[in-house]
Copies of this chain bind each other. A is one copy, B any other.
Amino acid sequence: MGKKSKDKEGNSGRCEGTLKVIGTGPGSLDELSARAKDALTHADVIIGYGTYIDLISSLIEDKLIVRSKMREEVLRAKEAIRRAINGEKVAMVSGGDSGIYAMAGLVLELLETKEFKDAATGLKVEIVPGLPAFVSAASLLGAPLMHDFASISLSDLLTSWEVITKRIDAAASADFVIILYNPRSKGRTTQLPEAVKIISTHRDPSTPVGIVKNSSRANEELSLTTLEQVSEEFESIDMSTIVIIGNSSTFVSSSRMITPRGYKDIK
Contacts and interface: CB of A to CB of B under 8 A. Distances in A.
Interface of A: 1-4, 6, 8, 25, 28-35, 37-38, 73-74, 97-102, 104-114, 127-132, 135-136, 138-140, 142-153, 158-159, 163-164, 166-167, 169-171, 173-176, 211, 213, 220-223, 233, 236, 253-256, 258-267
Contact of A135 (B110, B129, B148, B213): B129
8 contacts: A2-B221, A30-B34, A97-B139, A99-B138, A102-B146, A135-B135, A158-B262, A158-B263
Query: Among A33, A130, A132, which residue has the most Cβ atoms of chain B within 10 A?
Result: A33
Q: What copy number does this chain have within its complex?
A: 2
A154 B116 CA distance: 40
A112 B175 contact: no
Contacts of A131: 33, 129-131
Contact of A254 (B112, B148, B167): B112
Contacts of A152: 148
B221 A256 contact: no
A151 B149 contact: yes
Contacts of A259: 105
Contacts of A74: 263, 265-266
A222 B74 CA distance: 29
Contacts of A2: 221-223
A251 to B, nearest CB: 9
